[in-house]
Structure 1
């Protein structure tokens, strides 16, 4: 998508910056740091952010979405014995009474999915603690009362927006651990803004940094690819999440499939989610085309596309999956930062936040003009041009005749938990552990209180029952947001879909049981604004610790049967298919945690949860927020142009 004249101010500023000598690369990482977080590796043929020419693989570059890919099937086949062993160990540690783990596992291999919601750094850090608790590599996570090994038992893991930053940070750095990310120093350091010093106006100190961002993005544009604000955002966030010089401008999402950890199926199959948005379209859960990125493919199961393309070759000029120039493709378009940046692109809300940055006078006017022009030009998106699905399924695909495919934040359709890829019937997922770190609650005075209230899971349920985009997916019933709050379902784990026969009598179509785990205060008031961009090391670690406590229920101090109840949820779908009765222990677990259909839709009082353990609070700093940091990027570019 080429920017119109009305937004030339942004790229005029950027082009002036390109004349400035680039900042030297960062000091090479010390060996001990590299040992903490194994480095990602560059895979783009250009060696940088720009995609490069490459030979095409044999066969078409698109397929119908009537099944998962053969590559995904091969991965799962290799992953199954690993998950079987891990799950056997987990169930044995879970102290399940009167349940024969060996007999169950000898006849069935459950498919577990884990989903991490969006919500900026709050979601990434709370989710990081949840991830850490489920990872058997975390010291102490397999002790009594813990749930370490659940991650190793999972076949799928998905993230969107802030959840994609968590997932991307781990898998692109060769499936590292949260512990290592915390200790590394060069990644997951949120003491300072990724885009500018406090106030965003220390232009002399930051001009060279902006020039580096601009140079990388302009390399892509000079190679013939359209760019948008998402490209700048992507290059900025990469520097915090990708362990490679300058945030790995040549590191691709498809490079995950070339890592030993993926080849050996040591990680769950990782999926990141974004939404398609046609020009001028308002996205809602019932109409959005939900796109997924996995290490092998990019596309959607939705009937408004129903196709996938090899992710390594998106950026190629194709018509109905056939290269326009025989044998000539592109590689490197799937930059991992661009994938994470696409899943977290929320620029259409930023124009309302100018006053909070402290900009005044001419500079404020320039930035305001720039943001307005970006939004008016539909450039508040991620531009996937050339469209990988040009000419594909024109009878159902609204983007089939457009050369641009435009994508936005994966939570803008309301489905802020990436459940969509995990409820596809072809993946046959038995249970989903859904981490909801959304910010939904609003006080009566209009202030955001930033706790989840079930909005995200409700959006997925409503999409499933409305039919037009559900592609045959089924989803358990869930109540309204008022019931979530009035019954405390947003303050503790809740199981949805405990009786699959209430959803369908076809045992071959049982949907997953969903274990909903909302953000709540255990040891830290983790309801930090989505816009918050800066965390001290202690605040970061307290957020992670609280996330650990959320998913373990305080190391089972609030319910000593919690690990067993997790096990009961995992095995339930196969028990139902076989007509087996639950053990007394599992029946009690389901009585304690299953939503029983009760509703209380009365308007609740302000939701102000009490800390389950003595909790601390993060220091709010709106001047260093997510939204204002994006504006800082623009003001930095514009201001530098004025000063040079």
Structure 2
């Protein structure tokens, strides 16, 4: 964190000395979270640009006025759906950089010009490559089924995602989410804790409401802080038979169920949309017919979810009846409860997060732009009279119309600046909405194919979203300084430090003032803001990166 503030101009306030003076009491040091929303490949690429700008390992990210080092300063990094793909690709490939993932060679990761419906291209005919791709997907899923586990569409979806996101020619069927915890850098605290979010769905349900259970995957555990569960199971041993939180005597422990692709797929189980997109791809018609019939069969069996069976919370003492007595636990896309920003794990009282940088790539408007909807959903859930919020606190958030009418979805906005007005420990939220700085970045969530240049343009735009056009957006030259003030705000409260004048000016400018304009807004159709922001493509072509991904776990041990 001192490195971060070493290249942020805080005027006459010495932030590095401030951190040094309070380092003896770690609770006084800012506790940072970063949240990356869902939204398919749009969210992945826009979020990638943001993390690239926040990563001190990225070339030019630690120059004066940049935010490189924010990623290294963060305690938590959360994602769901497309944002979860981004997290998974970074962490499963040994916490690599976005620059390294922007590859330019067929057969490597992030080759999104090869649609996930067709699979990776080799030197042969695409039709043959695609046929082999589907055979390989089916073979791995069949192996799980043969081992005695229930399977669902998410098993296929997760395997397909792995081919694009994990640096392995076969999509890494042996890579597990829990193995992140075994890497030396994670154990040394050199990276934020990754948190992947998904929602619960009871048998027979099709709609996910605000009362649905929100689950998280971290490298150690799977579970929920919600009162419907309020418990966690060891992630490494998912697939084992648990009863009241224990594996009964005589039962074997299972490892490898937490396949990395399956976990990423769980947070993004876009079943219905996937089947609808089949007719727009150039898969050979015979193969398309076969695949469609398989997916339709899965849907008819209500298998358009991720099945966690055996249910790790079976007869668990803290679970509600619906979860306690269900042998299978059904889990779906983490954004289906409208909380498309994964804020839930970051507002838990036990984590004491001070500030959340919320990168929102949601398609909330008719033209696929954000309008604050995920913030509204999380705020409303925290106030829910059923108690589902379970003691979480969240800053007051205006309605969606106010976001558009006041332009809060066109620039960074701080929510929760005055902690004394909030009951409980609520973080200051730095809202960073997707906006067209250098390209129209409002791609459809279900666009499954991105040419390399389009991918790179989206990533560059994401960089510009969190750097204000690489520092070139008029009237936002103070942005890095004010981001620093947001980081320090709750720490100032705890240490009873007078807020520096430079931060007072920042809060006056960036904090939502509490006013509302709920009238029906005009159509929101932003145009590209600038032709160039000085950062066209920060990826270095043809990196020789030699990733050695995390490889641990088999279906049964």
When normalised by structure 2's length, the TM-score is 0.88
CA apart distance, 1:206: 2.4
- Measured in 1, the distance between the counterparts of 2:103 and 2:278 equals 35
Tell me, what secondary structure is at the counterpart of 2:232? Answer: strand
Matched, 1:179 2:99: yes
Tell me, what secondary structure is at the counterpart of 2:324? Answer: coil
In structure 1, the residue matched to 2:313 is 389
Tell me, what secondary structure is at the counterpart of 2:469? Answer: coil
Matched, 1:454 2:454: no
In structure 1, the residue matched to 2:409 is 490
Matched, 1:150 2:65: no
Alignment of 1:422-461 (within 5 A): 422-442=346-366, 449-461=367-379
CA apart distance, 1:351: 5.1
Tell me, what secondary structure is at the counterpart of 1:427? Answer: coil
In structure 1, the residue matched to 2:25 is none
CA apart distance, 1:361: 9.9
Alignment of 1:295-310 (within 5 A): 295-310=219-234
In structure 2, the residue matched to 1:219 is 143
- Measured in 2, the distance between the counterparts of 1:157 and 1:308 equals 19
Residue 463 of structure 2: which of 540, 548, 565 is its match? 548
Residue 524 of structure 2: which of 607, 619, 630 is its match? 607
- Measured in 2, the distance between the counterparts of 1:369 and 1:391 equals 36
Matched, 1:574 2:494: no
1:384-425 superposed Cα distances (whole Å, 9 cap, x missing partner): 111111111366252111110010000011000100000000
Tell me, what secondary structure is at the counterpart of 2:44? Answer: helix
TM-aligned CA distance change 1:218 to 1:359, over 3 Å: closer
Contact conserved, 2:412 with 2:430, CA < 8 A, in 1?
A: yes
TM-aligned CA distance change 1:283 to 1:100, over 3 Å: farther
Tell me, what secondary structure is at the counterpart of 2:341? Answer: coil
In structure 2, the residue matched to 1:515 is 430
Contact conserved, 2:119 with 2:163, CA < 8 A, in 1?
A: no
Matched, 1:407 2:331: yes
Tell me, what secondary structure is at the counterpart of 2:102? Answer: helix
In structure 2, the residue matched to 1:561 is 478
- Measured in 1, the distance between the counterparts of 2:245 and 2:219 equals 19
Q: Give the count of matched residue pairs.
A: 518
Tell me, what secondary structure is at the counterpart of 1:482? Answer: helix
In structure 1, the residue matched to 2:542 is none
1:72-125 superposed Cα distances (whole Å, 9 cap, x missing partner): xxxxxxxxxxxxxxx122223211123232134432211100000000011001
Tell me, what secondary structure is at the counterpart of 1:328? Answer: coil
TM-aligned CA distance change 1:395 to 1:118, over 3 Å: closer
Alignment of 1:216-295 (within 5 A): 216-295=140-219
In structure 2, the residue matched to 1:191 is 113
Matched, 1:169 2:84: no
Contact conserved, 1:110 with 1:571, CA < 8 A, in 2?
A: yes
CA apart distance, 1:174: 0.7
Matched, 1:339 2:256: no
Contact conserved, 1:285 with 1:415, CA < 8 A, in 2?
A: no
- Measured in 2, the distance between the counterparts of 1:98 and 1:575 equals 16
More helix by share: 1
CA apart distance, 1:317: 1.2
In structure 1, the residue matched to 2:40 is 120
- Measured in 2, the distance between the counterparts of 1:403 and 1:541 equals 45
Q: Which piece of structure 1 moves more, 125-134 or 358-367?
A: 358-367
**Any stretches of 5+ residues in structure 1 without a counterpart?**
1-86, 443-448, 617-644
In structure 1, the residue matched to 2:504 is 587
Alignment of 1:85-104 (within 5 A): 87-101=1-15, 102-104=17-19
TM-aligned CA distance change 1:482 to 1:382, over 3 Å: same
Alignment of 1:610-621 (within 5 A): 610-614=527-531
Contact conserved, 2:313 with 2:319, CA < 8 A, in 1?
A: no
- Measured in 2, the distance between the counterparts of 1:209 and 1:360 equals 13
1:227-246 superposed Cα distances (whole Å, 9 cap, x missing partner): 01110111111011111231
- Measured in 1, the distance between the counterparts of 2:235 and 2:291 equals 35
TM-aligned CA distance change 1:330 to 1:599, over 3 Å: same
When normalised by structure 1's length, the TM-score is 0.77
TM-aligned CA distance change 1:470 to 1:283, over 3 Å: farther
Tell me, what secondary structure is at the counterpart of 1:180? Answer: helix
In structure 2, the residue matched to 1:9 is none
1:588-636 superposed Cα distances (whole Å, 9 cap, x missing partner): 11111111111111111111112221279xxxxxxxxxxxxxxxxxxxx
Contact conserved, 1:285 with 1:459, CA < 8 A, in 2?
A: no
1:515-559 superposed Cα distances (whole Å, 9 cap, x missing partner): 000000111111111111111111111111110011011122222
